[in-house]
């Protein structure tokens, strides 16, 4: 089938595009604003994206046009489809028709935590050998894409309560044929389509009532709204919650590890179920992790497989994601835009990456966050930070004047709570302000439901010699550097996401000054392909890269870290606590890596460090 997606660069539509392509359909689409991570994902799948909306975008004569909820009935491509008698269908309806009728639908719904919880659910199923399919409104780092078409019986879908299309104003999740549901929370949100909290609850009640009697609902006991709507269930119900909660499944934090990892003790109906090593932080994340475990048991997955998957879970792009470290400052990207999510995210990040200040740059961009409905709530949420920078509300003209968030007042209210806060207009001015205010050991978290004008990269570059994760567009520069220094390497098309690098300048075309790759190997990790441009040697870039890579590997749960290097970089490894080992002493998992097979040079030096 030939399918054209209007708004293809949105997180949901872009994910659906990849899924449709994997199922053998011909897919194209159009959008106005295209940026990572979805632009990268679409490019990797060779899915054509037409910039801008126009009738000519339908000249390829698709069989159906998929309409997102951003489209109004007078949208230029909707009108063109109607004139050409091309049938319209919504994204949720198409997903249901093509993928959910023959699979067990596992839906993760709720006001907060849907993306991370559905990503973890999919990863647990995959690690247990169940070969699941999934469609998620974010990019799980373990999978590197937001969709998967598996051969197993389960399909994990992030259930969004937002409306479906201009011809279907009901919530998307009503199309998803739920059989097993995780319900994380129910609060007032989406003020542009729901009149009040009761209207939100009504939508969730209708969704819960769809679960068949033989299905199952797993619900968070700490959310009064979720527990209230759970009474609509006709199926079995399991509850989960934080320490001390009256719930079937609970957890207790028993320790902390280097790298920001947490040790949990898990219990079900008072029975101890084991200890978990978790890379996620914050009470909400740990709570919803417990909900995923409860759902995994409902699906028949054994606890040892669950424990291993949780230990290896890397998280989701734009959810407490470290985008880079520069001048000792950690820059974090987060999608949070609801007061509850902001408060819990900031609480989780405080002190996690250093002893310094937690500085927040917040852009009110979503339909709800730029409204005055949460004017007071934002004060309490943002006051968790040590300092706050506010951007003007995005596209304020789209909100009636008497309903707009007053950002100046928000800054003043934060200052009255002794939190330094100011409104800064424009990304260049924001970069300068943050660069002056941030010091080594500080964490800057950038919160927006959009890209905030590229603030993340611009701040890192302003701070100087940033270490960041590689992107698809960096492949050529990495290849060039490795060739310059004479390091043999495989094609980077598959391995580029494993690299950390230091850009040579502000643009991709400037090349890179240094790079290193981190390859997971069972319970360990392997650092490989460490390279520094000859003209930049002696500046400590290799040390900076390895130090950051070591923290990353520790945060991701590696027990030991191996390093393959040469005599020139050996002192750097020794300074960081690596010991030289005999190559034959590596573990079987490390011996199975690409690097072990390629690093046959007699001059290669193998080193190891316990994390």
The 10s digit of each residue's pLDDT in 156-184 is 999 999 899 999 999 999 999 999 999 99
Contact 164, 171 (CB under 8 A): yes
| Superfamily covering domain 469-610 | Gcn5-related N-acetyltransferase (GNAT) (3.40.630.30)
Neighbours of 268 (CB within 10 A): 18
Q: What is the pLDDT at residue 455?
A: 95
The 10s digit of each residue's pLDDT in 261-306 is 899 999 999 899 989 999 988 888 999 999 999 999 999 999 999 9
The single-letter DSSP state of residue 96 is I
Question: Considering only the top CATH level, what class is 102-312?
Answer: alpha beta
CA 385 to chain centre: 21
Fold for 321-463, please state it: 3.90.190
Rounded to whole angstroms, how far apart are CA atoms 371 and 452? 18
Neighbours of 129 (CB within 10 A): 9
The single-letter DSSP state of residue 176 is S
- When pLDDT is cut at 50, 70 and 90, the band that residue 452 belongs to is very high
Rounded to whole angstroms, how far apart are CA atoms 19 and 27? 10
Strand arrangement, sheet containing 560-565:
468-469, 499-503, 512-521, 524-532, 560-565, 605-610, 579-581
Q: Say whether 505 sits in a helix, a strand or coil.
A: coil
Cis ω before 37 (30° cut-off from 0): yes
Q: Which of 124, 151, 105, 121 is nearest to 302 (CA)?
A: 124
Query: Across residues 65-75, what is the average pLDDT?
Result: 90
E strand or H helix at 208, and its extent?
helix 197-208
The 10s digit of each residue's pLDDT in 178-216 is 999 999 999 988 888 888 999 999 999 999 999 999 999
Residue 326, φ and ψ in degrees, nearest 5: -145, 135
Q: What is the pLDDT at residue 321?
A: 92
Contact 531, 489 (CB under 8 A): no
Neighbours of 63 (CB within 10 A): 12
Q: Which residue has the tokens 């009738």?
A: 55
The 10s digit of each residue's pLDDT in 366-418 is 888 999 999 999 999 999 999 999 999 999 888 999 899 999 999 999 999 99
Contact 122, 107 (CB under 8 A): no
Residue 115 has pLDDT above 90, yes or no: yes
**Residue ranges per structural domain of the chain:** 2-91, 102-312, 321-463, 469-610
E strand or H helix at 544, and its extent?
helix 541-555
Return the sign of the alpha-carbon dihedral for residues 602, 597, 559, 530: positive
Burial 572-610 (b: 16+ CB within 10 A, else e): bbeebebeeeeeeebbeebeebbbbebbeeeeebbbbbe
By DSSP bridging, strand 163-165 and strand 261-268 are unpaired
Rounded to whole angstroms, how far apart are CA atoms 58 and 54? 8
Residue 570 has pLDDT above 90, yes or no: no
Rounded to whole angstroms, how far apart are CA atoms 279 and 320? 11
Residue 600 has pLDDT above 60, yes or no: no
Residue 532 has pLDDT above 70, yes or no: yes
Listing DSSP states for 575-598 in one string gives HTT-EEE-GGGS-HHHHTSHHHHH
Rounded to whole angstroms, how far apart are CA atoms 292 and 219? 10
Q: Which of 463, 421, 413, 473 is nearest to 443 (CA)?
A: 463
Rounded to whole angstroms, how far apart are CA atoms 77 and 55? 5
Q: What is the pLDDT at residue 505?
A: 80
Burial 322-339 (b: 16+ CB within 10 A, else e): bbbbbeebbbbbbbbbbb
Residue 586 has pLDDT above 90, yes or no: no
Q: What is the pLDDT at residue 599?
A: 64
Residue 10 has pLDDT above 80, yes or no: yes
Q: Which of 454, 495, 461 is nearest to 478 (CA)?
A: 495
Residue 506 has pLDDT above 70, yes or no: no
Contact 368, 399 (CB under 8 A): no
Residue 182, φ and ψ in degrees, nearest 5: -105, 120
457, 462, 468, 474: CA torsion to nearest 10: 70
Rounded to whole angstroms, how far apart are CA atoms 95 and 153? 16
Same fold, 2-91 and 321-463: no
What separation, in Å, do the N-terminal and C-terminal C-alpha atoms of the chain show?
Answer: 51
Contact 320, 358 (CB under 8 A): no
pTM of the model: 0.88
Rounded to whole angstroms, how far apart are CA atoms 611 and 599? 23
Listed in sequence order, the DSSP H helices in 254-399 are: 283-298, 303-312, 339-349, 375-382
The 10s digit of each residue's pLDDT in 34-65 is 877 678 778 888 999 999 999 999 999 999 99
Candidate CATH numbers 3.40.50.720, 3.40.50.880, 3.40.190.10, 3.30.460.80; the one for domain 2-91: 3.40.50.720
Q: Say whether 451 sits in a helix, a strand or coil.
A: coil
Residues with Cβ within 8 Å of 386's Cβ and at least 6 positions away in sequence, in order, are 357, 358, 359, 419, 420
Q: Which of 219, 257, 216 is nearest to 234 (CA)?
A: 216
The 10s digit of each residue's pLDDT in 309-368 is 999 999 998 899 999 999 999 999 998 888 998 999 999 899 888 899 999 999 999 888
- Can you read off the two tokens belonging to residue 518? 């981190």
SS3 content of the chain, % helix, strand, coil (to 5): 35, 25, 35
* Mean pLDDT, all residues of the chain: 92
Residue 490 has pLDDT above 90, yes or no: no
Q: What's the burial of 464, exposed, middle or buried (CB within 10 Å: 0-12/13-18/19+)?
A: exposed
Residues with Cβ within 8 Å of 51's Cβ and at least 6 positions away in sequence, in order, are 30, 31, 32, 34
Residue 130 has pLDDT above 60, yes or no: yes
Contact 366, 388 (CB under 8 A): no
Q: What is the pLDDT at residue 508?
A: 64
Percent of the chain with pLDDT over 70: 98
The 10s digit of each residue's pLDDT in 139-154 is 899 998 889 999 999 9
Contact 459, 434 (CB under 8 A): yes
Rounded to whole angstroms, how far apart are CA atoms 368 and 511? 40
Q: What is the pLDDT at residue 363?
A: 96
């Amino acid at each position: 089938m030939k399918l054209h997606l209007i708004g293809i660069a949105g997180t949901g539509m872009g994910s659906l595009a990849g899924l449709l392509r994997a199922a053998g359909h011909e897919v194209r689409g159009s959008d106005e604003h295209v940026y990572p991570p979805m632009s990268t994902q679409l490019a990797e799948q060779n899915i054509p994206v037409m910039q801008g909306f126009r009738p000519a975008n339908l000249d390829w004569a698709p069989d159906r046009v998929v309409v997102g909820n951003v489209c109004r009935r007078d949208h230029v491509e909707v009108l063109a489809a109607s004139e050409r008698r091309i049938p319209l269908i919504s994204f949720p309806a198409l997903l249901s028709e093509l993928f959910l009728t023959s699979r067990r639908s596992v839906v993760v719904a709720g006001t907060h935590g849907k993306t991370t919880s559905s990503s973890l659910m999919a990863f647990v199923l995959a690690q247990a050998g169940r070969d699941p399919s999934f469609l998620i409104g974010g990019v799980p780092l373990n999978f590197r894409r937001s969709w998967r078409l598996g051969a197993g019986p389960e399909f994990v879908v992030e259930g969004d309560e937002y409306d479906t299309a201009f011809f279907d104003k009901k919530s998307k999740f009503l199309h998803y044929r739920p059989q097993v549901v995780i319900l994380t929370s129910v609060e007032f949100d989406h003020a542009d389509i729901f009149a009040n909290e009761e209207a939100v609850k009504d939508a969730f009640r209708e969704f819960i009532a769809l679960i068949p009697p033989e299905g199952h609902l797993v619900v968070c006991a700490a959310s009064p709204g979720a527990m209230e709507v759970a009474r609509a269930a006709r199926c079995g119900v399991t509850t989960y919650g934080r320490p001390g909660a009256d719930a079937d499944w609970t957890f207790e934090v028993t320790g902390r590890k280097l790298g920001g990892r947490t040790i949990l003790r898990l219990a079900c109906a008072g029975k101890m179920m084991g200890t978990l090593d978790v890379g996620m932080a914050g009470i909400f994340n740990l709570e919803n992790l417990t909900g995923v475990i409860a759902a995994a048991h409902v699906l028949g997955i054994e606890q040892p497989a669950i424990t291993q998957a949780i230990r290896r879970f890397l998280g989701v792009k734009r959810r407490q994601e470290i985008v880079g470290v520069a001048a000792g400052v950690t820059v974090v990207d987060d999608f949070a835009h609801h007061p509850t999510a902001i408060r819990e995210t900031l609480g989780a990040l405080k002190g996690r990456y250093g002893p310094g200040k937690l500085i927040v740059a917040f852009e009110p961009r979503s339909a709800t966050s730029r409204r005055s409905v949460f004017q007071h709530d934002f004060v309490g949420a943002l006051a968790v930070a040590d300092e706050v920078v506010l951007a003007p509300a995005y596209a304020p003209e789209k909100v009636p004047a008497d309903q707009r968030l007053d950002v100046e007042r928000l800054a003043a209210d934060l200052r009255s709570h002794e939190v330094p806060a100011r409104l800064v207009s424009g990304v260049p001015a924001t970069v300068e302000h943050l660069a002056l205010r941030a010091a080594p050991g500080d964490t800057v978290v950038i919160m927006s439901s959009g890209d905030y004008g590229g603030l993340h990269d611009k701040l890192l570059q302003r701070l100087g010699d940033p270490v960041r994760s590689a992107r698809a567009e960096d492949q050529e520069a990495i290849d060039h550097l490795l060739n310059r220094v004479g390091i043999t390497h495989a094609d980077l098309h598959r391995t580029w996401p494993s690299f950390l690098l230091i850009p040579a300048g502000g643009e991709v075309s400037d090349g890179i000054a240094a790079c290193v790759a981190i390859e997971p190997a069972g319970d360990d990790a392997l650092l490989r392909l460490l390279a520094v441009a000859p003209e930049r040697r002696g500046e400590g870039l290799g040390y900076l890269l390895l130090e950051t890579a070591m923290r990353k590997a520790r945060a991701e749960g590696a027990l030991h870290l191996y390093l393959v290097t040469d005599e020139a970089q050996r002192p750097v490894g020794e300074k960081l606590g690596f010991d030289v080992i005999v190559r034959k002493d590596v573990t079987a998992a490390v011996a199975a890596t690409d690097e072990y097979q390629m690093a046959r040079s007699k001059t290669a030096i193998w080193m190891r460090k316990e994390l």
